[in-house]
């Protein structure tokens, strides 16, 4: 048994990108292995849950928990790892703010089952058989984790010590956090966001910013954007203004708009609300002498270029937004 | 209830329970009779965070205020909620009481249970419930309040006035009379603006220069003229700073005549070998390269037109200096200067221009002979104008018929949508002057609308209506008028279709186009330099069209006269005095400027420099730091409107006293 501090990484409702992000720290993974006993990571290692259950409480020094909480199993693991971990980190956008899984909150869980198991061109299911949490068979009762109606963030089900935003977190930020932990230096107060800035992506974006007035919006395929000027000023819906800094703005460097993966800015409670307030403030319609109906029509014409409000403004933060989910 | 020691500095830190007192005002019977008071008090008292509740008959009365003050001083609560009327009515009253009671006035929140509950809710139980919820919201909100401090800054009481027309001059005199300095900046070489060019001024037909002469004299040589710095041939190049502390940079171009030495004898005109078109007569005649703009122009010193003077196009000529009896009065060596002045307020009174008549080609201006704008006709009427006041075509004889086109470009969606307001009176004044100089002249008025409000303005209209030689034809669209010179003739033909669709035609020796009044040339540039907005018509935009029509959207920059909207001289002077009133009462010598704490504040750590706040601020109060790229709000200019707070996508801007935490607490408290 190693005397090294234990490191765990778990995936709840997630895509696996966060594990890739960890490996993306390149050679530093060797340092991590040298310092830690990397003992639990279902994506990479074969440790079983019973092994975790057998540990003493707080036996794991650091757990990087990625993924949102969508099923009873996700939540059970969250509680278990909370109990067994000294420091529990919500790693990546899903655990932090719900991310893509959180968009499920715009629909009912029955609707998902319907479109996955029945109303689907590649499925032949004439008896409309759905997966059930429990199923009695001659050999006994089979069970599946239960599917929640609402996707939650890690902090909504258990106490979280730190948050590392990003979809996935950028390697240089993962490195910086691990470095800080390994060096034993004092970490910021519990509840803090690590591996990110406190402002917005614009702070790290090298583009030239001017006063903002937009008269029409463009989707990325409709325009060849100027590489020097602010994309939002060019009418491209760049979420950078309403997204926490820390990524280093690599998308902007590649002439693509920010989609908002570093999530809600430090000073805000709702990324989507902030973006729509900002956008409403800078979209300009020449309203001189127009009736209110005509004004509304022109404004709507500009807004028609946003095909999916929730998917754009709340792509990464639906679960942690003020509304959190569709109200039935 | 425990009476702890003072809770000074207790700002709602975690876990600490704040002592919160609720004062419930019965407002006589206004509130008391419309709800169940006992039930309400009981429910309020058992609310979380409420330390005590006291009902008072009339909290805003002298006894009420005295009671409130003493109770606060005795009790020393951390927070106070006053359940009473609208904060619009008494928030300042109660803030004053808190201040007297040695408590930070911003640690109080009012719950408007009168207007928002009992007055609008008939059912007593419902009114009670609503009032309790409003109090709960206020109690919840006030826990988050922070003590805010007003502070004061030094101000400069002097004033920059741009434009030395009647409005600018009037304001300069008032400012000077109060003992402050007025810097009066005028683009042209003369003072007096537009009306100094008019022979007679409606409605009482006073002579323009004579009417303005006493005012101009006072500016130049009056009792308070030492307080007025008149800078002619000058324009504002840059305005920095903010209300109370502006720095204006003024570009002064040389007159090449020393105004202190020149006695205005005009000896230099005759020898000058260069003739230039006289812009003060709209090019209708010529004058010398050194001359007065017109006879009687003030200040009484000529100027050299450096675009035409031989010296400035590379030739050697000293004719004017040689003829001048005063040593050093002609000053070729003068150079452009950049003058800097510190002022506390700015008045923009730059006047207006006429709409360019070539924009309506069917009116024949510039093509048909004898077609003049109203300004040109004013100069023809003027005894110091190109015809010395004789009504005649340039080089021609007196007209036997004159057509006056009203509303030219006004009330017209293709040109200017507004009514220019002064053209009717101008046209009727012309009617009078034509009739008195050339009795029997046929005068045809083509008009779209007649607008003649006010107690003085009917007489010229009546006179025109009663003139047997005057005809009135109403047209509907300016495109229904066609003015041109047919064949070899010297006069013009006017074809028209009247409002009822009848077509007609007549010959006229002269046509006067009463063009719409427009914002002056260069107003966009000036607006940019001053940082103030223009309205959709291009005039300088007022803070509020009814309540604050002489304030611009930027605090400390005021507007007067036709640069704000078409208007007559009376209204322009009223506005200049209104502006002077704002300035004199707002910037008082020896008094500091109070800066309200309820403004927006930027947390630089959270600001990403996206500049959205700069784009949305209607008061130009947000600035971007050139080095850090982050924004900051100038507390003097900020009006606390919250627009940037709502627009800031990073949540870096906080609206003091309306923070997100406070508003959210209020909502949660009300819904709990």
Per-residue confidence (pLDDT) for residue B520, from 0 to 100: 95
Start-end ranges of CATH 3.50.50.60 in chain B? 152-253+336-352+522-591, 356-518
Q: Which residues of B touch A265 (CB under 8 A)?
A: 606, 649-652
| List of E strands, A201-315 | none
Q: What percent of chain A clears pLDDT 90, i.e. is strictly above it?
A: 84
For B554-583, write each residue's pLDDT tens digit. Answer: 999 999 999 999 999 999 999 999 999 999
Are the C-beta atoms of B508 and B517 separated by less than 8 Å? no
Per-residue confidence (pLDDT) for residue B15, from 0 to 100: 58
β-pairing, B442-447 vs B401-408, is parallel
Q: CATH assignment of B255-334?
A: 3.30.70
Per-residue confidence (pLDDT) for residue B8, from 0 to 100: 40
Residue B135 has pLDDT above 70, yes or no: yes
- Please give the average per-residue pLDDT across B604-620, as a whole number: 91
A327 Cβ contact list (under 8 Å, min separation 6): none
Rounded Cα gap, residues B91 and B81, in angstroms: 11
CA distance to partner chain A, nearest, from residue B417 (Å): 10
Rounded Cα gap, residues B64 and B69, in angstroms: 9
Q: CATH assignment of B20-142?
A: 3.40.50
Start-end ranges of CATH 3.40.50.700 in chain A? 1-122+130-196
Contact B648 A232 (CB under 8 A): no
Q: B551 φ, ψ to 5°?
A: -100, 140
Token pair 């009066």 is found at: B184
Architecture of domain B596-656: 2-Layer Sandwich (3.30)
CA distance to partner chain B, nearest, from residue A266 (Å): 7
Topology of domain A1-122+130-196 in CATH is Rossmann fold (3.40.50)
Contact B646 A269 (CB under 8 A): no
Per-residue confidence (pLDDT) for residue B2, from 0 to 100: 35
Q: Which residues of B touch A281 (CB under 8 A)?
A: 612, 615-616, 643, 646-647
CA distance to partner chain B, nearest, from residue A76 (Å): 31
Contact B650 A232 (CB under 8 A): no
Q: How confident is the model at residue A327 (pLDDT cuts 50, 70, 90)?
A: confident
Q: Which of B354, B394, B381, B283 lies closest to B513, judged by CA?
A: B354
Which DSSP string do the residues of B133-148 spell out, in sequence order?
HHHHHHHHHHTT----
- Specify the higher pLDDT residue, A154 or A111: A154
Q: What percent of chain B clears pLDDT 70, i.e. is strictly above it?
A: 97
What dihedral do alpha carbons B92, B97, B100, B103 form, nearest 10°? -90
Are the C-beta atoms of B254 and B567 separated by less than 8 Å? no
Q: Which of B369, B395, B391 lies closest to B379, judged by CA?
A: B391
Say which DSSP state A13 is in: B
Are the C-beta atoms of A289 and B417 separated by less than 8 Å? yes
Token pair 């949490």 is found at: A133
Task: Give the closest of B417, B610, B664 to A200, CB-based.
Answer: B610
Contact B646 A211 (CB under 8 A): no
Task: Give the closest of B413, B536, B660 to A269, CB-based.
Answer: B660
Contact A198 B605 (CB under 8 A): yes
Q: How confident is the model at residue A183 (pLDDT cuts 50, 70, 90)?
A: confident
Q: CATH assignment of B152-253+336-352+522-591?
A: 3.50.50.60
Which DSSP string do the residues of B484-545 spell out, in sequence order?
E--TT-SSEEEEEEBTTS-EEEEEESEEEEEEPEEPPTTHHHHHHHHT--B-TTSSBPEEET
Residue B606 has pLDDT above 90, yes or no: yes
- Please give the average per-residue pLDDT across B356-363, as a whole number: 97
Per-residue confidence (pLDDT) for residue A181, from 0 to 100: 87
For B3-37, write each residue's pLDDT tens digit. Answer: 333 334 444 445 578 999 999 999 999 999 999 99
Q: B521 φ, ψ to 5°?
A: -55, 140
- Please give the average per-residue pLDDT across B71-75, as a whole number: 96
Q: Which residues of A touch B648 (CB under 8 A)?
A: 267, 274, 278
What residues are paired with A63 via a beta bridge? A8, A88
Q: CATH assignment of B356-518?
A: 3.50.50.60
What value does the mean pLDDT of chain B take? Answer: 93
Per-residue confidence (pLDDT) for residue B5, from 0 to 100: 36
ipTM: 0.88
Q: Which helix (H) or strand (E) holds B340?
A: strand B337-343
Q: How confident is the model at residue B267 (pLDDT cuts 50, 70, 90)?
A: very high
Nearest CA in chain B to A230: B610
Q: Which helix (H) or strand (E) holds B51?
A: none
For B322-343, write each residue's pLDDT tens digit. Answer: 999 999 999 999 999 999 999 9
Per-residue confidence (pLDDT) for residue B6, from 0 to 100: 37
- Please give the average per-residue pLDDT across B40-44, as a whole number: 95
Q: How confident is the model at residue B394 (pLDDT cuts 50, 70, 90)?
A: low
Residue B342 burial by Cβ neighbours in a 10 Å radius (0-12, 13-18, 19+): middle
| Residue B377, CA distances (Å) to B197, B274, B367, B404, B449 in order | 11, 26, 17, 11, 21
Q: Where do runs of H (alpha helix) occur along B325-400?
A: 374-381
- Give the count of beta carbons closer than 10 Å to the beta carbon of residue B413: 7
For A160-169, write each residue's pLDDT tens digit. Answer: 999 999 999 9
Residue B535 has pLDDT above 50, yes or no: yes
Per-residue confidence (pLDDT) for residue B78, from 0 to 100: 97
Give B350's Cβ-side CA count (13 Å radius): 25
- Specify the higher pLDDT residue, B580 or B393: B580
Give A303's Cβ-side CA count (13 Å radius): 13
Interface of A with B (CB under 8 A): 198-203, 209-213, 230, 232, 240-242, 245, 265-269, 274-275, 277-278, 280-282, 288-289
For B100-110, write each residue's pLDDT tens digit. Answer: 999 999 999 99
Per-residue confidence (pLDDT) for residue A100, from 0 to 100: 96
Question: Could you tell me if residue B29 is left (phi over 0), alpha (psi between -120 and 50 degrees) or otherwise beta?
Answer: alpha
């Amino acid at each position: 048994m190693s005397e090294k501090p234990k490191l765990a990484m778990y995936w709840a409702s997630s895509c696996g990108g966060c594990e890739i992000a960890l490996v993306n720290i390149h050679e530093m993974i060797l340092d991590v292995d040298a310092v830690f006993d990397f003992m639990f990571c279902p994506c990479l290692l074969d440790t079983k849950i019973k092994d975790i259950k057998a540990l003493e409480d707080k036996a794991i020094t650091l757990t990087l928990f990625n993924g949102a909480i969508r099923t009873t199993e996700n939540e059970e693991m969250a509680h278990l790892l909370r109990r067994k971990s000294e420091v529990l980190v919500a790693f990546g956008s899903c655990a932090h703010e719900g991310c893509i899984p959180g968009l499920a909150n715009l629909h009912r869980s029955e609707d998902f089952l319907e479109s996955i198991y029945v109303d689907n061109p590649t499925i032949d299911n004439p008896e409309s058989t759905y997966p059930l949490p429990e199923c009695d068979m001659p050999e006994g009762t089979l069970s599946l984790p239960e599917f929640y109606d609402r996707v939650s963030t890690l902090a909504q089900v258990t106490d979280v010590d730190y948050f590392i935003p990003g979809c996935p977190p950028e390697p240089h930020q993962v490195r910086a956090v691990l470095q800080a932990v390994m060096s034993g230096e004092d970490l910021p107060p519990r509840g803090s966001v690590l591996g990110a800035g406190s402002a917005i992506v614009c702070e790290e974006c090298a583009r030239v910013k001017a006063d903002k007035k937009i008269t029409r919006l463009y989707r990325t395929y409709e325009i060849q954007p100027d590489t020097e000027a602010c994309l939002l000023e060019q009418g491209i819906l760049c979420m950078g203004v309403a997204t926490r800094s820390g990524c280093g703005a690599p998308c902007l460097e590649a002439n693509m708009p920010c989609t908002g993966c570093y999530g809600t800015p430090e000073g805000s409670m709702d990324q989507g609300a902030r973006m729509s307030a900002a956008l409403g403030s800078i979209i300009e319609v020449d309203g001189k002498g127009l009736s209110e109906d005509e004004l509304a029509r022109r404004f709507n014409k500009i807004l028609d270029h946003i095909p999916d409000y929730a998917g754009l403004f709340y792509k990464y933060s639906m679960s942690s937004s003020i509304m959190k989910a569709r109200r039935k | 209830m425990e009476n702890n020691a003072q809770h000074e500095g207790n700002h709602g830190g975690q876990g600490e329970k704040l002592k919160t007192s609720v004062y419930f005002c019965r407002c006589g019977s206004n509130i008391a009779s419309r709800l169940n008071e006992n039930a309400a008090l009981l429910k309020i008292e058992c609310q979380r965070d409420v330390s005590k509740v006291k009902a008072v008959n009339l909290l805003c009365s002298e006894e009420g205020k005295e009671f409130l003050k003493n109770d606060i001083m005795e009790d020393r609560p951390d927070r106070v909620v006053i359940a009473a009327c609208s904060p619009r009515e008494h928030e300042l009253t109660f803030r004053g009481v808190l201040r007297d009671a040695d408590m930070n006035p911003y640690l109080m929140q009012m719950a408007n249970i009168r207007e928002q509950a009992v007055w609008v809710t008939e059912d007593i139980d419902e009114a009670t419930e609503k009032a309790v919820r409003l109090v709960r919201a206020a109690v919840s909100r006030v826990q988050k309040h922070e003590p805010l401090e007003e502070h004061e800054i030094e101000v400069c009481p002097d004033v920059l006035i741009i434009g030395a027309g009647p409005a600018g001059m009037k304001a300069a005199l008032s400012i000077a009379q109060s003992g402050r300095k007025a810097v009066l900046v005028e683009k042209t070489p003369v003072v007096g603006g537009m009306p100094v060019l008019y022979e007679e001024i409606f409605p009482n037909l006073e002579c323009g220069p004579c009417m303005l002469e006493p005012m101009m004299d006072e500016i130049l040589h009056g009792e308070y003229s030492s307080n007025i710095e008149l800078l002619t041939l000058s324009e504002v190049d840059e305005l920095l700073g903010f209300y109370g502390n502006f720095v204006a940079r003024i570009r002064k171009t040389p007159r090449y005549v020393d105004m202190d030495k020149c006695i205005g004898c005009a000896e230099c005109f005759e020898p000058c070998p260069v003739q230039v078109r006289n812009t003060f007569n709209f090019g209708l005649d010529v004058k010398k390269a050194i001359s007065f703009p017109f006879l009687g122009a003030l200040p009484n010193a000529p100027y050299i037109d450096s675009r035409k003077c031989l010296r400035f196009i590379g030739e050697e000529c000293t004719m004017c200096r040689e003829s001048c009896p005063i040593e050093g009065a002609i000053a070729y060596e003068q150079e452009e200067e950049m003058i800097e002045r510190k002022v506390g307020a700015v008045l923009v009174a730059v006047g207006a221009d006429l709409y360019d008549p070539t924009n309506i080609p069917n009116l024949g201006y510039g093509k048909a002979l004898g077609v003049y704008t109203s300004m040109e006709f004013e100069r023809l009427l003027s005894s110091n104008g190109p015809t010395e006041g004789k009504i005649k075509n340039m080089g021609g004889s007196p007209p036997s018929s004159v057509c006056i086109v009203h509303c030219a470009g006004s009330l017209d969606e293709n040109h200017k949508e507004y009514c220019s307001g002064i053209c009717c009176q101008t046209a009727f004044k012309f009617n009078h002057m034509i009739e008195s100089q050339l009795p029997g002249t046929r005068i045809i008025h083509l008009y779209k609308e007649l607008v003649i409000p006010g107690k003085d303005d009917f007489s010229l209209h009546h006179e025109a209506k009663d003139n047997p030689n005057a005809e009135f034809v109403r047209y509907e669209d300016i495109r229904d008028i066609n003015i041109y010179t047919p064949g070899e003739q010297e006069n013009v033909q006017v074809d028209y279709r009247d409002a009822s669709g009848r077509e007609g035609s007549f010959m006229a020796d002269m046509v006067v186009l009463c063009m719409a009044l427009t914002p002056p040339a260069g107003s966009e540039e000036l607006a940019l330099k001053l940082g103030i907005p223009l309205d959709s018509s291009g005039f300088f935009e007022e803070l509020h069209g009814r309540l604050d029509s002489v304030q611009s959207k930027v605090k400390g920059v005021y507007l007067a006269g036709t640069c704000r909207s078409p208007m007559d001289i009376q209204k322009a002077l009223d506005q200049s005095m209104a502006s002077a009133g704002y300035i004199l009462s707002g910037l008082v010598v020896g008094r500091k400027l109070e800066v309200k704490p309820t403004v927006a504040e930027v947390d630089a750590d959270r600001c990403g420099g996206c500049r959205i706040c700069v784009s949305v601020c209607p008061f130009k109060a947000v600035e971007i730091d050139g080095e850090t790229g982050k924004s900051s709000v100038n507390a003097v200019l900020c009006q606390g409107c919250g627009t940037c707070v709502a627009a800031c996508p990073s949540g870096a801007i906080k609206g003091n006293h309306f923070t997100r935490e406070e508003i959210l607490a209020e909502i949660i408290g009300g819904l709990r």
